[in-house]
Amino acid sequence: MNLSPHFYQKRWLIFFLVFVFVGLNTLLAQEAKFEMGHKMTLLVIQLAIIVIAARFIGLLFSQLLHQPRVLGELVAGMVIGPYALGAISLPFLNGPLFPKGPGFLPVSPELYGLAVVASIVLLFMSGLETDLPTFLRFSVVGSVVGLGGVVLSFFLGTLIAVLLLPGVNSFLSPAALFLGALSTATSVGITARILNERRKMSSPEGVTILAGAVLDDVLGIVILAIVVGISRVQIGGSEVEWGHIGTIALKAFGFWVIATALGILSANRLTRGLKRLRSQDAIAGVALGLALFVAGLAEVAGLAMIIGAYIMGLSLSQTDIASELRNRIHGVYNFLVPVFFCVMGMMVNFAAMKRILVFGVIYALLAIIGKVVGCGLPAYLMGFNWRGAFRVGAGMLPRGEVTLIIAGVGLSAGAIGSDLFGVAIVTLLIASLIAPSLLVKSFEGGSGLRKETLLKKEEAGCRIKLEFPSFHIASFIRNRIIEAFENEEFFVHRLNIDGMIYHIKKEDVFITLHQKEGMIELSASEDNRALVSLIVMEEILALKDLFEAVQKVKKPEMVCEELASGLLSDEEEKFN
């Protein structure tokens, strides 16, 4: 068969096109592989710088400046972020260390995704640390106080946005809604730390502040869900109707109530299933995985991920594995949460803040007024005098993680810009700097109650103090006392993972255990004095018998001599 020359030309043309196609695919694959490797290398180096800077500056703030560590982590992010040192081009990276992300994101999507995971871990731990029985016990006073602070703060936050921000002419504007939501949050951790230092954790003002702060966080998360839903409609170009607002509110509140109720009711069954894993690490890992899963479900339902994470933590907070979960996840928490705060600090655009700094200061002052008046006035109406009402209002001032999460969600959704995100940072800094000294000063003086109430009984309770020669001995005794209460089927809840404050509860019995250095203090109502004294006395007598038995076995000097001789003989054998 004779083939024409055109056939060979076409055949070589086909071979050439196939060769070019395969070659281009190979080059593109190599380029994509190189690009992915470069991104992962950059992410690893970024994490290294973030962890080191957040730790170092956080310790500097907490130990030298006596300020909350979160402020130092935020400042670290501002210093090394893309609007400061992070914008400097580095030769070995062929660009800046923290390049700006696409669109409205000041950081890369990879780094922001890690910050989102960190926020889920943060809210999961916040849920685990929520003291639900204490909240329910003082729910009436605390709920009224918390609700008053949320309502007034939200109103003032939206009002100032409408009055002073250009382009914001409606209370339903996304910027106004997010500024209102930002002003509602309260930091339970900062407040609890201050109350602990002043020995006011179990005072009427203390329990009211804690109950109100818990409600603030819950309402803040629900408000965030509503605001996100409304903002998505607004940004999409549609008009928000009151019926639609009611639907969003009902959906958010319904999801919160139903998911929380189901979580709490099924917590014991879920705990029994987790215990079948027979590994504490596996239990903690699966629980954290469930928190991520529920967070994803919340996002699918149109709500914020942090709502699902908080619900999962709250559901497990009253189980007997809650303390173990907190201890096991503490390492992950310590690594990721500073990354979250640092990344939030990176989003502060200093150039944009200059244009809105005056507005930020005014907004921060109104946010402070909203908490002091909004929480203090209901406290006065519920039985506190003006001194006690001011204490409650001052205790609700600190801002923290919820404020940053709300601001981060607003920035990522495009509802607020970098300038308004800077306003959130300014508010957090001002409130967190003012609150500690203001709260400490407010507790100078007499009682904060107008007359004898049910709360007075808690204040007039008994205190049992035990002093030991060293911190290690006190810690050993503390663990034995806690174990003794747990053997009596008490639920022991560690209030703050960084502190030594425990709530010990069983039905209507409520006891607070606090250790500071070599001193242990137990606080309870007068009705429970005999029970606390009996358990502590039995434990100390058992320890006394144990120490006497150890002393009878052998003298310490003889044990040391035998150990020393054994070490010497081992060394001689190795030498020979």
Domain range list for the chain: 5-96, 109-442, 461-549
Least confident interval from 65-74, 114-123, 288-297, 369-378: 65-74
Q: Report residue 32's pLDDT band, with 50, 70 and 90 as the boundaries.
A: very low
Predicted pLDDT of residue 28:
43
Looking at the whole model, is its pTM more than 0.75? no
Predicted pLDDT of residue 217:
66
Predicted pLDDT of residue 323:
74
Predicted pLDDT of residue 561:
64
Q: Report residue 11's pLDDT band, with 50, 70 and 90 as the boundaries.
A: low
Q: Report residue 316's pLDDT band, with 50, 70 and 90 as the boundaries.
A: confident
Over residues 101-140, the pLDDT tens digits come to 766 667 888 888 888 888 888 878 877 876 666 555 666 7
Least confident interval from 242-246, 351-355, 564-568: 564-568
Q: Report residue 324's pLDDT band, with 50, 70 and 90 as the boundaries.
A: confident
Predicted pLDDT of residue 507:
59
* Between 553 and 84, residue with greater pLDDT: 84
Over residues 204-247, the pLDDT tens digits come to 777 777 667 767 766 776 777 777 777 777 666 666 566 766 77
Q: Percent of the chain having pLDDT more than 90?
A: 1
Non-local CB neighbours of 88 within 8 Å, separated by 6+ positions = 96, 97
State whether residue 168 is helix, strand or coil: coil
Amino acid at 427: T
State whether residue 429 is helix, strand or coil: helix
CATH 1.10.1370.30 applies to domain 109-442: no
- Strand ranges for 407-508 from DSSP E: 462-467, 491-494, 501-506
Would you state the CATH architecture of domain 461-549? 2-Layer Sandwich (3.30)
Over residues 436-447, the pLDDT tens digits come to 777 777 777 777
Predicted pLDDT of residue 461:
64
Over residues 497-507, the pLDDT tens digits come to 556 788 787 65
Predicted pLDDT of residue 116:
85
Q: Report residue 31's pLDDT band, with 50, 70 and 90 as the boundaries.
A: very low
Q: Write a three-state SS string for 177-243.
A: HHHHHHCCCCCHHHHHHHHHHCCCCCCHHHHHHHHHHHHHHHHHHHHHHHHHHHHHHHHCCCCCCHH
d(CA 407, CA 415): 10
Predicted pLDDT of residue 428:
74
Predicted pLDDT of residue 444:
75
Give me 276's structure tokens. 């079948």
Burial class (CB in 10 A: 0-12, 13-18, 19+), 306: buried
Least confident interval from 6-15, 304-313, 409-418, 477-486: 6-15
The gap between the terminal CA atoms of the chain, to the nearest Å, is 92
Q: Percent of the chain having pLDDT more than 70?
A: 73
**Does residue 72 carry a pLDDT above 60?**
yes
Predicted pLDDT of residue 27:
43
Backbone φ and ψ of 477, nearest 5°: -65, -40
* Between 306 and 103, residue with greater pLDDT: 306
**Does residue 333 carry a pLDDT above 60?**
yes
Non-local CB neighbours of 224 within 8 Å, separated by 6+ positions = 181, 304, 306, 307, 405, 406, 409
d(CA 86, CA 543): 57
